[in-house]
């Protein structure tokens, strides 16, 4: 399988002043030396707690944020620093679906105009037929065409957002927690829709989420993020069945278990402390302040990636 996206040592730092009148500045290292690739037609899930840098990673790949360092490749071509005019032609093939569908839709525009807007920009012909085709492809009908966002449900709003993104025939989509604002039953419908669209059209997804049950359902590979770094990456089976990093184990332990007997049998992994601030990250391994197996080397030296099995990498001095 050929790569469609590759990032190498990607960094995104935000500049912060220490006070209103202070000249001293600090860097918030939201994404700090991240590398991975996504194959054509694949779904890679980016998982982590709030503040781990996963959304910033997705936005930086699309250059909604300009990267501080590193390289971004799309279909083998480096797009990190190409001029905006040239990048605009490539950007059409890379779309984003946002977490809150309502906030991503213009409340003053009806559904027809929301979906038609990018089509007009790209000088499409037969726009009305194209909009109807897109609505039907996401499970909506002609009667929705002239409604406004506040006249339809949250699930329907997300379908509209998906239809708008599909209108320009993208190859790669960043899905930023696309179901987290929806009811559970609607979540399943949107996930099934995304999966079916991928099978029919060969889309490639970067699926950003903190919900491991959703990630296990929709993705083929998983990358675990903590404080702007990827701590573990592998296939769904490798990461879920054979987690190697203590942080990955913590996240897996947090997934609710429906059977009370299983809950009692399951060994609880309780980690102390809170996530450090990315304005002042710890030295060495970023997870050592909360890690139950941390030793002196973890505080002093950042670990390298270790390949524990083919395609399964972990950033830990003591994997497993």
pLDDT-based confidence at residue 92 (cuts at 50, 70, 90): very high
- pLDDT higher than 80, residue 174: yes
Closest CA to 208 of 96, 88, 73: 96
Percent of the chain exceeding pLDDT 90 equals 71
Structure-block tokens of residue 92: 């059409």
pLDDT tens digits, residue range 95-147? 999 988 888 899 999 999 999 999 998 888 889 999 999 999 999 999 999 99
pLDDT-based confidence at residue 268 (cuts at 50, 70, 90): low
CATH tag, 3-93+170-312 = 3.40.50.300
CB-CB contact of 176 with 58 (8 Å): yes
Which residues partner with 3 through β-bridges? Answer: 39
pLDDT-based confidence at residue 308 (cuts at 50, 70, 90): very high
Would you kindly state where each structural domain of the chain is located, as residue ranges?
3-93+170-312
Read off the pTM.
0.90
Q: Provide the pLDDT for residue 183.
A: 83
Cα separation, 220 vs 222, whole angstroms: 7
Rg (CA), the chain: 21
pLDDT tens digits, residue range 17-35? 776 776 778 889 999 999 9
pLDDT-based confidence at residue 277 (cuts at 50, 70, 90): confident
Residue with more model confidence, 312 or 320: 312
Q: Provide the pLDDT for residue 24.
A: 79
């Amino acid at each position: 399988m050929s790569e469609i996206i590759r990032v190498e040592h990607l960094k995104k730092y935000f500049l912060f002043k220490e006070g209103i009148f202070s000249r001293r500045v600090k860097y918030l290292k939201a994404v700090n030396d991240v590398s991975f690739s996504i194959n054509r037609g694949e779904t890679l899930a980016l998982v982590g707690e709030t503040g781990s840098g996963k959304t910033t990673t997705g936005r930086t790949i699309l250059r909604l944020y300009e990267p501080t360092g590193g390289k971004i490749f799309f279909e083998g071509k480096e797009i990190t620093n190409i001029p905006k005019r040239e990048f605009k032609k490539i950007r059409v093939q890379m779309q984003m679906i946002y977490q809150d569908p309502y906030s991503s839709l213009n409340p003053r525009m009806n559904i027809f105009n929301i979906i038609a807007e990018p089509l007009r920009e790209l000088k499409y012909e037969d726009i009305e037929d194209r909009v109807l085709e897109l609505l039907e492809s996401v499970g909506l009908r002609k009667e929705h065409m002239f409604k406004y966002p506040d006249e339809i449900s949250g699930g329907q709003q997300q379908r509209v957002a998906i239809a708008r993104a599909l209108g320009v025939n993208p190859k790669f989509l960043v899905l930023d927690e696309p179901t987290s604002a929806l009811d559970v039953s609607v979540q399943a419908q949107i996930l099934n829709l995304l999966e079916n669209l991928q099978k029919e059209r060969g889309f490639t997804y970067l699926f950003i989420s903190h919900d491991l049950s959703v990630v296990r359902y929709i993705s083929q590979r998983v990358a675990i993020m903590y404080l702007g770094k990827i701590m573990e990456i592998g296939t769904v089976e490798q990461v879920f069945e054979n987690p190697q990093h203590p942080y990955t184990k913590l996240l897996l332990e947090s997934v609710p278990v429906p059977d009370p007997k299983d809950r009692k049998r399951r060994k609880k992994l309780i980690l102390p402390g809170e996530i450090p601030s990315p304005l002042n990250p710890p030295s060495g391994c970023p997870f050592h302040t909360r890690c139950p197996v941390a030793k002196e080397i973890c505080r002093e030296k950042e670990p390298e990636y270790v390949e524990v099995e083919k395609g399964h990498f972990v950033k830990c001095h003591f994997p497993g």
